[in-house]
């Protein structure tokens, strides 16, 4: 297998990219995920693995890879005693991002430590970016292999998988990066659109992602994960009509029926308890416009203007 050199001259497009990999107690998968990166036909210029207080062998496995590949580095964080949901992964992301040694890069990726990627994944995602200069963030479609034959996790084509967020640097900086809260990977997607960028997940065999945990699950159970999903939708500012539509849509996924009901229940539980919401009101207007159009109620959508970068 030939490995392409992405240290390109200034006369050619800048295809340099970096990866930040937050990881906590991922000893089952992280060696495999790192092997996927090592085999890439277009490797990153830097990959920072953030060992987020793991109590297993995650950090040791990452250090072993770093000894063999100088573009891999490991940042260790103290164990805070529990998994911090939502914002915890973004705090870990920035613990790695803030230590970057590379300043010359065109793209960045927040990558989960429990995925399988094709060997030419990053070569092809960069090609997608180069084909459309307004494409601000992209991923492939995600498949979950936990029940035998892998099945596709349903996300709309405009959405980018949180397991492999690949951003054009200008887009990432325009939206102000990630918000360290539950639904960070919904807020960033809608903020990118708000600022005029396109976002996309591609159904392409060269961009197929195997994610070894089910989307919307949690370290406790998938039921707890669906409730958390609904609470996160409340925080993000989702319109109540859209949460009903979304819950019904998710009823056709495991756990059938109850999963969608738990999403709706989590949302209204947070509403009744008057839990805090993402404070950007202009963002919420953009979000409601998009959501109401998605469910055929565009005539109810508020008028918005494109945000300035």
**CA–CA gap between residue 62 and residue 184 (Å, rounded):** 26
Query: CB neighbours of 175 closer than 8 A, spacing ≥ 6?
Result: 188, 191, 192, 194, 195, 197
Amino acid 218: pLDDT = 47
HSE at residue 193, side-chain half, CA atoms within 13 A, is 21
Give the single-character DSSP code of 37.
Answer: H
**CA–CA gap between residue 171 and residue 157 (Å, rounded):** 18
DSSP H helices, the chain, are 30-38, 58-68, 87-97, 121-131, 169-174, 184-194, 222-236, 240-250, 258-272, 281-294
**CA–CA gap between residue 139 and residue 109 (Å, rounded):** 10
Cα distances from 255 to residues 145, 219, 262, 269, in angstroms, run: 16, 16, 10, 20
Q: Hey, what are 285's tokens?
A: 């207007």
Amino acid 282: pLDDT = 95
Amino acid 30: pLDDT = 98
**CA–CA gap between residue 10 and residue 281 (Å, rounded):** 41
Q: Identify the sign of the CA torsion 263, 151, 121, 91.
A: positive
Is beta strand 135-140 parallel, antiparallel or unpaired with respect to 151-152?
unpaired
Within its chain, how far is the Cα of 160 from the centroid? 7
Specify whether the CB–CB gap between 131 and 109 falls below 8 A.
no
**CA–CA gap between residue 8 and residue 280 (Å, rounded):** 40
Amino acid 1: pLDDT = 42
Q: List pLDDT tens digits, range 46-90.
A: 999 999 999 999 999 999 999 999 999 999 999 876 666 668 999
Domains in the chain, start-ordered, CATH in brackets? 17-211 (3.90.550.10), 222-300 (no CATH)
- Collect the ranges in the chain with pLDDT lower than 50: 1-3, 5-11, 216, 218
Amino acid 2: pLDDT = 44
pTM: 0.89
Amino acid 80: pLDDT = 77
**Among the listed residues 141, 114, 122, the one whose alpha carbon sits nearest the alpha carbon of residue 34:** 114
């Amino acid at each position: 297998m030939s490995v392409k050199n992405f240290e390109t001259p200034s006369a050619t497009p800048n295809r340099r990219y970096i990866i930040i990999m937050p990881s906590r107690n991922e000893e089952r998968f992280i060696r495999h995920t790192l092997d996927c990166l090592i085999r890439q036909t277009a490797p990153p210029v830097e990959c920072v693995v953030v060992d987020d207080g793991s109590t297993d062998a995650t950090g040791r496995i990452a250090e072993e890879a770093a000894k063999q590949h100088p573009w891999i580095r490991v940042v260790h964080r103290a164990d805070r005693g529990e998994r911090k949901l939502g914002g915890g992964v973004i705090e870990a992301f920035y613990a790695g991002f803030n230590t970057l040694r590379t300043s010359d890069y065109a793209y960045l990726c927040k990558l989960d430590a429990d995925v399988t990627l094709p060997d030419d994944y990053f070569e092809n995602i960069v090609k997608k970016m180069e084909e459309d200069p307004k494409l601000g963030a992209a991923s492939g479609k995600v498949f979950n292999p936990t029940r035998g034959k892998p099945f596709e996790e349903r996300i709309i084509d405009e959405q980018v998988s949180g397991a492999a967020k690949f951003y054009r640097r200008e887009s990432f900086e325009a939206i102000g990066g990630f918000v360290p809260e539950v639904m960070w990977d919904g807020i960033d997607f809608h903020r990118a659109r708000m600022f005029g960028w396109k976002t996309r997940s591609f159904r392409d065999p060269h961009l197929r992602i195997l994610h070894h945990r089910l989307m919307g699950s949690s370290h406790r159970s998938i039921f707890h994960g669906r409730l958390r999903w609904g609470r996160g939708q409340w925080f993000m500012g989702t319109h109540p009509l859209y949460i009903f539509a979304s819950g019904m849509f998710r009823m056709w996924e495991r756990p059938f029926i109850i999963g969608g009901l738990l999403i709706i229940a989590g949302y209204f539980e947070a509403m009744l308890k008057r839990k805090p919401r993402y404070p950007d009101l202009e963002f919420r207007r953009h979000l409601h416009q998009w959501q109401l159009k998605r469910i055929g109620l565009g005539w109810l959508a508020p008028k918005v203007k494109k945000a300035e970068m």
